[in-house]
Amino acid sequence: MAPLNIFQRNPRNVRIASWILAGAAFVAWYRYDQKKEREFTDNEVQAWNQDVLRKTNTKSVEERRKEQAH
């Protein structure tokens, strides 16, 4: 119960401890994020691009080239 009494008497220690824990959580997340690979398959990229073009109602480069050729 000694650590609890220290925190009850001095809320500054609680704030310091919470900032240290928040910093440790951020560092852990950052390292995890660095290790995780961000690779997408060609099919996923094509599906994403087509979805964005459809939602923004824009034409792809290929579609614009075809229109200019006619």
Structure tokens at 10: 């001095």
Same domain membership, residue 2 and residue 30: yes
Q: DSSP character for 41? A: -
Q: How far apart are CA 22 and CA 51, in angstroms?
A: 37
Same domain membership, residue 61 and residue 29: no
pLDDT at 61: 83
pTM, 2 dp = 0.42
The maximal CA–CA distance of the chain, rounded, in angstroms, is 82
Higher pLDDT, 38 or 63: 63
pLDDT tens digits for range 8-47: 677 888 889 999 999 999 999 999 888 877 677 889 889 9
Q: How far apart are CA 32 and CA 37, in angstroms?
A: 10
Q: DSSP character for 60? A: -
Q: Domain count of the chain? A: 2
Residues 53 and 59: beta-carbon distance below 8 Å: yes
Same domain membership, residue 13 and residue 46: no
Higher pLDDT, 26 or 49: 26
State the pLDDT confidence band at 51, using cuts at 50, 70 and 90: very high
Residue 68 has pLDDT above 80, yes or no: yes
Q: Give residue 17's domain range.
A: 1-38
